[in-house]
Amino acid sequence: MGRVIRAQRKGAGSVFVSHTHHRKGKPALRAVDFAERNGYIKGVVKDIIHDPGRGAPLAVAYFKDPYRYKIKKELFVAAEGMHTGMFVYCGRKAQLTIGNVMPVGNMPEGTIVCNLEEKSGDRGKIARASGNYATVIAHNPDTKRTRVKLPSGTKKVIPSANRAMVGIVAGGGRIDKPMLKAGRAYHKYKAK
């Protein structure tokens, strides 16, 4: 008789499921539309909220729907320096200020970004953990590709049309403070 090891037991679910009930939803960049592709669109940060099981805070931004008379709520991973009542601009013609979302091809080299898209239009996959950031290294206008340095230190070539948020993810310095006792680690993973 072999023993079912813990890693295998976790696959079965039941008591090993993640605690997702109080989570606030999937934070992502806006879906790419005409406004983002050609100009920019203005939104306002209404709230900064805590997401259980995540070190970084989330920002709730309100945008006017460009096609229908209504307000669209978007959830972003908050960049450091974001505050309520702040205007954020998303699109190709947006300015280079913290919290704005624009294609990496329109950023100067050396720009610090977060919430970076891995593939065009995937709404942000890279550098989303608290305090993390990626750096734009170089552009190649002929092939429309951009080199970025990821949080791990790896350099990656991505399409210049990929969008990213300017700035670093808020909630940095979280790992600097020692846990000190097993109970704190226990409660931290209880939320995950």
User: For 92-123, how does the pLDDT look when each residue is reduced to its tens digit (9 = 90+)?
Assistant: 999 999 999 999 999 999 999 999 999 999 99
Q: Identify which of 173, 141, 172 has the alpha carbon closest to the alpha carbon of residue 159.
A: 141
Q: Identify which of 180, 143, 82 has the alpha carbon closest to the alpha carbon of residue 101.
A: 82
In the chain, the amino acid numbered 141 is P
Supply the pLDDT for residue 14.
87
In the chain, the amino acid numbered 103 is P
Helix (H, G, I), strand (E, B), or coil: what is residue 105? helix
Supply the pLDDT for residue 182.
94
Angle at 108 between CA 41 and CA 65, to 5 degrees: 10
Angle at 87 between CA 85 and CA 93, to 5 degrees: 175
Q: Mean of the per-residue pLDDT values for the chain?
A: 94
Report how far residue 78's alpha carbon sits from residue 115's, in angstroms, rounded to the nearest whole number: 9
Report how far residue 161's alpha carbon sits from residue 105's, in angstroms, rounded to the nearest whole number: 6
Query: Do 113 and 98 meet the contact criterion of CB atoms below 8 Å apart?
Result: no
Supply the pLDDT for residue 13.
84
CA distances from 70 to 37, 65, 67, 150 (A): 21, 6, 9, 37
